[in-house]
Amino acid sequence: MTSDLWLGTLLSIPIGIGTGLAVGPIERWWESHGKSKALEKSMEMRVDYAAALFFVEHPHEFTQFLLREIVRGLLGIGEILLGVLCILMPLTLRLVGSDERAARWMAALFLLTGPVPLTMGILMLARSAKKVNRLWYRVRYFEQYQDEVLPELRKLDEGIVES
């Protein structure tokens, strides 16, 4: 029992010293990490606010933005349809009754390449919809958005400066 006590005592001293030496740098890193995240959030909010303000002041530019995003959405839908067509192509070759070796290779090629445009189309459509949705509500309800964002930006700036 006494050997366990001595072993515990001997091990607790280096562990205590190591903990004491490690806590300071970890706390400083955690503080700087929090400041950098707050600064990053502040910059992102400023960019979003500037974009919304620009589109409120220039509605014709907002219309052009919406049209560009609609075109991107349509391209995304086209890519989705192309991917689905590529995936369904082997089924149509089988229904036709083509058993040739070249038809099997072509079916394998379509099955392997089909998911690429399908995935790209889904990502393009989702990105475009998210972008339009965020800006549409910010521009449509700009006064409310401004009332929410400006105090939060001031609060973030004060937190960054004080730290």
List the chain pLDDT tens, one digit each, 163 residues. 567 777 777 777 777 777 777 777 777 777 766 667 777 777 888 888 899 999 999 999 999 999 999 999 999 999 888 888 877 777 776 666 666 766 677 777 777 778 888 888 899 999 999 999 989 999 999 999 999 888 888 887 776 655 5
Q: Which of 24, 26, 32 is nearest to 163 (CA)?
A: 32
Query: Which sign, positive or negative, has the C-alpha torsion 153, 54, 62, 69?
Result: negative
The pTM assigned to this predicted structure is: 0.62
C-alpha distances in Å from residue 28, one per residue of 15, 33, 36, 101: 20, 8, 12, 66
143 contacts: CB under 8 Å, gap ≥ 6: none
- Quick check: helix, strand or coil at residue 48? helix
- The domain segmentation of the chain, as residue ranges, is 1-40, 54-163
